[in-house]
Amino acid sequence: MTLKQKKNYVLLKNNLQTVLNSHLLQSTSNHKFDLVVVVQSHKRYKYLQALMQSLHKARGINKILLIVSHDYLLTEMRTVVESVQFCPVIQIFFPYSAQLHPDVFPGTDPRDCKRDTPKELALVKKCLNANYPDQFGHYREADYTMTKHHWWWKINFVFDQLNILKDYKGLVLLLEEDHYVAPDFLTIMKLLEQKRNSEYPNCDFLGLGSYNRHGSYSHFKHKVADYVAWASNKNNMGMAMNRATFDKIKRCNNQFCRFDDYNWDWTIQSLSSKCLNRPLTILTMQAPHVFHAGECSGLHHKRFCKMEDTITAIERSLSANMDYLFPQTIGVTSQNREIRRFAGVSRPNGYGGWGDIRDHKLCMSYVKSA
């Protein structure tokens, strides 16, 4: 496809919002789902394929709605999604990707300042964004800004522009293409939601567990969840929110889009101290029911390893701990004192990479009310 054809394709698909496997939709007018699962994808189709295989193994998977949000048009990625037959599926496409804007913002304009150009020199050269380096004096890099842009656009589109979810009040679980879920993840989500509704009504997020996947589940309190302050480096994988939490975050649109950090998760954490009147909280399992398979590649991971070996290790761990999966009840440990103290702990100024006013304006435009 030509660049123009790609842009038209994205606009058309986002408008049509075609449901694949629509015969699996419940016949009720508002299409009740046990869970909505949203996957943010780039172009690692083998990881996406492994994630789909793990979803397929989950008990009750036919009762979810799966949404895959692409920021890269790649036939292999769409083929993986279109091969899914176990649940209704919708594909959406981030329309402001660097791929669709290769020579202009939000991609890299050849007239933009280079990352390490001193501001004084940038002003002399009159490159486009000379006035807007980040807090460390660096200029934007499109590849790094895309993930935060895509994340914020995606959740705004899902909650506020996806017609099939107009009246949906349930949970939306956020995954990425290199995640891998346990076969009981839907059971865990239901137990967490029941516990939150009955005992922790102010809880913002529900989580499928930690990054630690090694060893036997008997090393964890496998039937126990922690109620803690949400931490970006611990709770950014396999987290779910409902519309109430989304609306709370959306009201911080200005702060989210102006915070000088190219990471969506660090930005979310900053809202606890810069916008909200209390820290964001999460009810999350101690034992892992979601796994990060993308240790071998990605924006922040450069380890030398094989994806297949990582997936095999995860599957072996799940097989060895099958007796600990599908709990019937869960308990909770609460750290209310630590939650109250957490508001000022987040890195106050961010990690940079997000100083360009053009990124701020585009980001803020995703909110429907804007």
Boundaries of every domain in the chain: 3-100+140-364
Nearest-angstrom CA–CA distance, 370 and 364: 7
CATH architecture of 3-100+140-364: Alpha-Beta Complex (3.90)
Residue 272 is assigned to a ligand binding site:
no
> What are the start-end ranges of the H helices in 29-74?
45-56
Nearest-angstrom CA–CA distance, 320 and 166: 41
Query: CA nearest 308: which of 46, 78, 54?
Result: 46
pTM: 0.94
Residue 43 is assigned to a ligand binding site:
yes
The dihedral over CA atoms of 118, 123, 125, 128, expressed in degrees to the nearest 10, equals 100
Q: Give me the amino acid identity at 113.
A: C
Counting other chains too, the contacts that 96-101 makes at CB distance below 8 Å and 24 or more residues apart are 96/149, 96/153, 96/362, 97/71, 97/72, 97/146, 97/150, 98/142, 98/143, 98/146, 99/6, 99/71, 99/72, 99/73, 100/3, 100/6, 100/7, 100/10, 100/73
Structural tokens at position 169: 């009040």
Give the relative orientation of helices 142-160 and 243-250 as an angle to the nearest 10 degrees: 130
Residue 41 is assigned to a ligand binding site:
yes
- What pLDDT, on a 0 to 100 scale, did the predictor assign at position 297? 60
> What are the start-end ranges of the H helices in 57-89?
75-82
Residue 306 is assigned to a ligand binding site:
no
- What pLDDT, on a 0 to 100 scale, did the predictor assign at position 141? 97
Q: How many CB atoms lie within 10 A of CB 356?
A: 24
- What pLDDT, on a 0 to 100 scale, did the predictor assign at position 370? 45
pLDDT means per 10 residues in the chain (370 residues)? 96 97 74 92 96 97 97 97 97 98 97 97 97 98 97 98 94 97 97 96 93 66 87 93 97 97 95 88 94 72 74 91 92 76 61 97 86
Residue 44 is assigned to a ligand binding site:
yes
Cis amide leading into 106 (omega within 30): yes
Residue 178 is assigned to a ligand binding site:
yes
Nearest-angstrom CA–CA distance, 341 and 288: 26
Residue 269 is assigned to a ligand binding site:
no
Strands 35-41 and 179-181: unpaired
Residue 119 is assigned to a ligand binding site:
no
* 25-to-29, 31, 289, 291 alpha-carbon distances in Å: 10, 6, 26, 28
1 and 99 in contact (C-beta within 8 Å)?
no
Counting other chains too, the contacts that 109-116 makes at CB distance below 8 Å and 24 or more residues apart are 112/139, 112/140, 113/139, 114/139, 115/139, 115/140, 115/141
Burial of 135 (0-12, 13-18, 19+ CB in 10 A): middle
